Amino acid sequence: MVTAKIAPSLLSGDFARLAEECERMLGLGADYLHMDVMDGHFVPNLTLGAPIIKSLRPHTKGFLDCHLMVSNPEQWVDDFASAGADLFCFHYEATEDPAALIEKIHAKGMKAGMAIKPKTPVDVVYKYAPTLDQVLVMTVEPGFGGQSFMSDCMDKVRELRSKFPELDIEVDGGLAPENIEVAAKAGANVIVAGSSIFKASSPESVISLFRKTIQDVQAAA
């Protein structure tokens, strides 16, 4: 059975204190550190890149779950591997040869993830899923934090879980205490959350709630 993994999105953290924010999240129970990489081309915004991952790596032993919302992700595999990324997640929509890219990521010693936008049909993932370490189903349009959770994307999660019971399925976008049960029941086990964790009065309680909800749903299945 897949296990619950909670991945706070550092996009909602204090970039001036990034290393401290990473260690704080790990101390509060986070499993992954979700790093949102945006190039200003594939998505409108511009955020962090490989140099920041490289500078951060010596300061944390946390699992760096790097979500690349970039055009031509192939060009960044070597840089992110050298920087110390643990998982390189590219968008299906951004590459013409997902199979070759997955192979390249693995050859560099990283785990490989594939993300799909809300309007991309889930069946595009099926042929690649056996070679992927994680699939990310976006529950908002990529590129901006603070958007509302799109519950209709849960149909994709359900289909993926039914076909690939041992696959790590990540959801990202608008996840919060009020909708975590919906995501958990659909089959998501890796939860990315930014605002709902970082802006909470007790981030630790939110992380704990996410984990317990997934575990309770799995126990009841």
pLDDT the model gives residue 145: 67
pLDDT at 1 over 90: no
- Is 36 assigned to a binding site? yes
- Is 174 assigned to a binding site? yes
Angle at 104 between CA 162 and CA 139, to 5 degrees: 40
* Rounded alpha-carbon distances, angstroms, from residue 191 to 37, 69, 81, 177: 17, 18, 23, 11
Superfamily per CATH, domain 5-220: Aldolase class I (3.20.20.70)
10 Å CB burial of residue 125 (0-12, 13-18, 19+) is buried
Q: What percent of the chain shows pLDDT beyond 90?
A: 95
Determine which one of 14, 31, 36, 152 is catalytic: 36
| Chain mean pLDDT for the chain | 97
Mean pLDDT throughout 142-153?
Answer: 85
- Is 27 assigned to a binding site? no
pLDDT at 216 over 80: yes
Mean pLDDT throughout 133-157?
Answer: 91
Tens-digit pLDDT profile for residues 78-127: 999 999 999 999 999 999 999 999 999 999 999 999 999 999 999 999 99
Q: Which two tokens stand for residue 190?
A: 């890796």
pLDDT the model gives residue 143: 80
Mean pLDDT throughout 134-145?
Answer: 90
User: Is 79 designated active site?
Assistant: no
- Is 194 assigned to a binding site? yes
How confident is residue 147, by pLDDT bands cut at 50, 70 and 90?
confident
Give dist(CA 129, CA 56) in Å, integer: 30
Domain boundaries, the chain: 5-220
User: Is 39 designated active site?
Assistant: no
Tens-digit pLDDT profile for residues 57-69: 999 999 999 999 9
Q: What percent of the chain shows pLDDT beyond 70?
A: 99
How confident is residue 28, by pLDDT bands cut at 50, 70 and 90?
very high
- Is 106 assigned to a binding site? no
Determine which one of 39, 65, 168, 172 is catalytic: 172
Mean pLDDT throughout 37-55?
Answer: 96
- Is 144 assigned to a binding site? yes
Angle at 218 between CA 210 and CA 24, to 5 degrees: 25
